[in-house]
Structure formats: C-alpha cells, structure tokens
Copies of this chain bind each other. A is one copy, B any other.
Amino acid sequence: MRSDPPAGVLEAFWAYERALGTDDLAALDRLFADGPGTLRGDAAGLLVGHEQIAAFRGTRGGAPARRVVEVHVRTVDDDHALVVAVTELVRGGRGQQTQLWERTDGRWAVAAAHVHAPAPAFDPRVWRVLGDPLVPGAAGGPLAGRGVAVKDLFAVAGQRVGAGTPAWLADAPVEAEHAHVVAALLGAGAHVRGVARTDELAYSLAGTNAHTGAPPNPRAPGRVPGGSSSGSAAAVALGQADVGLGTDTGGSIRVPASYQGLFGIRTTHGAVPTTGLVPLAPSFDTVGWLTRDADLLAAVGDVLLPPRGGAAGTSRLVVSPALLALAQDDVAARVRRFAADAGAVPTTAWDGVDLAAWAEVFRLRQAWEAWRAHGAWVTAHPGALGADVAGRFAAAAGVDDATGARAGEQREQVRAQVLDLVGDDVLVLPAAPSVAPRPDPAGLDAVRAATLRLTCVAGLGGLPAVVLPTPGPTPPPGPDGGTGGRADRPVGVCLVAAPGRDRELLGLARDLARTTG
C-alpha cells in the first residue's frame, strides 16, 4: 500500500478540518459521501447513511477546537485513500480519526469515518460521584467483586443525596448511614462504584434530566435511556457497574431495562425496606435493580429479598392480547413471539379492563402522594426543577385531598381486581409500549401516558415485576452469514406475579434467559 497521497485528497482532508473548525455544516455535508451507505462511528455509536450523519452534526454544535499533529495516508488507488489523523484538543487530550476517502466525478468525499475524542474524566450524564471504589464492600460474600451504581436517591454514608436536582443537593446534609439496601449489598461483598444520576425526584420515565442531560443508551444511540433509574441503568449497560440499584414507582426500573436490553426487577411493594431512600409516592415506591444477566439479578435478590414465603404459585405463563395491543406493533410482535416460545397460554381475562382508567387512578394517587412528599420543597425552590418534572409537580399541586383520597379508594379496588386477574399465574406483557424513543419533549409526554397503561398493572397491584430482553428478529452476523445490518433496538418483556413471588420470578427469568436468549 502506498503512502504517497493521490492528488487532491489532502486538500479535501484539510478543507474538512477547516469546516469542522467553523462548524460549516454545508461544507461538512458536502465532504461526506451522499447515500445510505456512508458510515460515521464514535464512542456514542455507529451512524449509517448520510442523512443520519447530517442530523447528528446539526445538533451537536460543532467539534471541540483542535489541531492535527499527525497525518498518515494509505493509498489504495488514484480515487481511494485512507487518511488517519491524530488530533490534539485545545482542552487537552488526543483523539484520532480514520477516514476512507473516495473520489467520484472528480470530487473527494468521506465514505466512512471512525472518530474518537479524548474521554472525559467520567460521564457526568451517568455519574455524580465515583471512586475506586467509592465504598468498599465486606471481604468475601456472594457479591464479592461486583460494583454497584447507586441511584442518587439512596443514602450512602459520607455522601449527600442529590435526587437529580442541584438545588436539592445544595441543601442536603452528608449522610451518616447507608440506606438499608446499600448496607446489605456492601455486607454481601459488593462495592459502591459511585452515585448515579436519576431523573429529578424520580418523577419521570424518560431518563432525561434538564440539568445533567440524558445518560447515553449504548444499545440505541440517539434514543433516551429510560428512567428514572437512568444513570444506574446506563452504568450497567456501559459496563461501568455490574448492579444498577434503583427504584420503581411507576416503571423506573422496567422502562430503562426495556430500552437498554437489561435485566431488571421491581420488587413486591414493601418487600425490601426503603430506609434511607428519598420517597416519591410511598404507597407505590419499591426498590429495584438492573443487571446484564439473569444470574446476577437473582443473586442480588438472594441478598435483598425476604426468604421465600409459603404461598408459591404456578409457573404457568399467560399472555393477554389485550395487553399486547397497548404496545406498538413491533414491540407486540417481539413479546408475542417470546411468549409463544416460552409456552405462554393466551388469556382473554384482560379484554374488558380499561387500562387507561387504571393509569389515571395511578397518576392521580401518585401525584397526590408526591405533592405530600415534596410540595413544600418544590414551593420553596421555584425554578429548581426542569420543565418536565416541574410541570408534573404543578399538576400534582392541583390534586386536592378529596381527589387523592378517592384515587386511593379506587386504587384498592383495582388492586383487588389485579390480584384476581393475575392469580397464581405469571403474566407476560411488554415492559414498555415502544423501543426507546428520541428525546423529543412533546413526544415523551405521549410515551409516558402510553407506558403507564402497561406499567400501572404492577404499580397498582404492588406486584413484583421482572424484565428480561427479548431476542431480536435480525440474526446477528456470523462466520457463516457474513455481515449483519443494523442491530435491533432492545425490547423488554415483563413477568408479573402475585405479591411475594419475587424469587420465583427471578428463577423463571433465569430459565427463560437460557432457553430463549
């Protein structure tokens, strides 16, 4: 391979550098090859096609200032060359870019680019505080060597609790003691890797945060991570922690698990102590956690869950077409196939249930409790919350005591109905109605409403729910098949059962992960 560059390619390379420096989007678009085959990859993921790449550039607001310190050219022929450049950023650190240039009709353009910028000290969208470790675990124990990302709602001794809101953090005292579950994990040998971001006061399912941004979703670049246990989930998906400790009031474990292809559990309401946890809506709040595999999900359950009670149910799986219909078609299809592969029995029992009405009961009672928990603080800190969560609290402020009480009564009726419908079976349903959506504020409101129609079943029932990823329809590439296209975005399936059956669900998830994964 020659290293003398073909005519014009270096001029094009430098023109590209200049366009980057001035964020000249038109020039950058022109210097990337047109068409659906153009590639651009960086730490956030691989973009395929000129359109995706142009959209990315349009929103990032320019590249950091830099100078080129090395340029290497590997020439294929007069119309193709690879240009590899080492860059030095003004803000420190070195990056690299590899570009395959192609000349078509006399014009040079990049057909594929691979870029890396220097890593920041850590990703502040995912973490607030980190250590090596932040808190060491006990010697030995079943969770020895496992790192935990603690959602910034749990007390960690020596740290403040930030609850996703800078103004909350500023007022917060240094905690003298660990939250109950943090202490239990440490006692079992796990260590605390750090304190992970959360949606503000956990009052969101999107995983966005007006102050610190949305953690990345490595399995769905450009999409939201899901929340409110957003940082805990991203830390696990990114391989930066083994266990993501979080909470689930209305779906805050189940949604990020589904969006990111993780395993997660929302425990039976009341089964795991919430001591040392900032509440959102206490009659719904539960502890939960996320992992990359079903074995560790169960192993954490062995540490945190009460011993198995006597009232075990059956392991019969049932699936309701009426519930599947609450999800988008692609998600419903994935969950339907999963259920079929797992031998789930269809049921018509849910056909007449008005899930929209249930979700409204959930919404009202949650809002009433949330305002009781935080209304005084929110009132005393105008402007402290981002628009989405502030709007939710403003609505919550309008839920008067009579409405709250009535929602509480309705909730008890729904709970009885849920217990009856679920019975001794294991209900299979979509963990979320769609794959991870784009971070479009207006769209996210609709997603939230659709999500609560599915997640309110376990929420209103106080039921345990375990999420596991479904296999995608596209086979991965392999030595035989060669290439594989775009990897599928994750879709989670949720298993719900009667209160107290958490350990059974965890065992079932292990079995299902082995047979369907």
Which residues of A come within 8 Å of B, CB atoms? 1, 3, 5, 10-11, 14, 17-18, 33, 37, 39, 41-43, 45-46, 48, 67-74, 76-77, 80, 82, 84-86, 89, 91-94, 96, 98, 100, 102, 111-112, 114, 116, 118-124, 126-132, 134, 158, 174, 193-194, 212, 218-219, 235-241, 292, 476-479, 482-487
Contact = CB atoms under 8 A, between A and B. Distances in A.
A123 B77 CA distance: 41
A485 to B, nearest CB: 7
A1 B45 CA distance: 22
A68 B164 CA distance: 35
A487 B194 contact: no
Given A92-B236, A121-B194, A122-B121, A69 B487 contact: yes
A119 to B, nearest CB: 5
A309 to B, nearest CB: 33
A114 B98 contact: yes
A240 B121 CA distance: 5
A436 to B, nearest CB: 15
Contact of A80 (B18, B76, B131): B76
A111 B70 contact: no
B119 A129 contact: no
Given A1-B37, A114-B98, A132-B129, A70 B119 contact: no
B129 A94 contact: no
Contacts of A482: 5, 10, 71
Contact of A82 (B11, B100, B134, B235): B100
Given A10-B482, A114-B84, A121 B70 contact: no
Nearest to A14: B479
A379 to B, nearest CB: 25
21 contacts: A3-B37, A5-B482, A10-B482, A14-B478, A68-B484, A69-B477, A70-B484, A70-B486, A74-B100, A76-B77, A82-B82, A82-B100, A85-B477, A93-B237, A114-B116, A120-B240, A121-B123, A121-B193, A124-B132, A127-B130, A127-B132
A271 B111 CA distance: 58
Contacts of A86: 41, 45-46, 487
Contacts of A484: 68-71
Contacts of A121: 122-123, 126-127, 130, 193-194, 235, 238, 240-241
Contacts of A479: 11, 14, 17-18
A24 B71 CA distance: 31
A397 to B, nearest CB: 30
Contact of A70 (B91, B126, B477): B477
Contacts of A74: 37, 39, 100, 111-112
A284 B84 CA distance: 46
Nearest to A127: B121
A127 B39 CA distance: 34
A94 B218 contact: yes
Given A1-B37, A71-B484, A80-B76, A89 B130 contact: no
Nearest to A196: B121
A-B residue pairs, 3 tightest by C-beta: A92-B239, A121-B240, A93-B239
A239 B90 CA distance: 8
A67 to B, nearest CB: 7
A439 to B, nearest CB: 19
A302 to B, nearest CB: 22
Contact of A292 (B73, B92, B120, B237): B92
B96 A1 contact: no
Nearest to A292: B92
A281 to B, nearest CB: 28
B483 A238 contact: no
B94 A112 contact: no
Contact of A131 (B42, B130, B241, B486): B130
A158 B479 CA distance: 53
Contacts of A476: 67-69
Which interface residue of A132, A174, A478 has the most chain B CB atoms within 10 A? A132
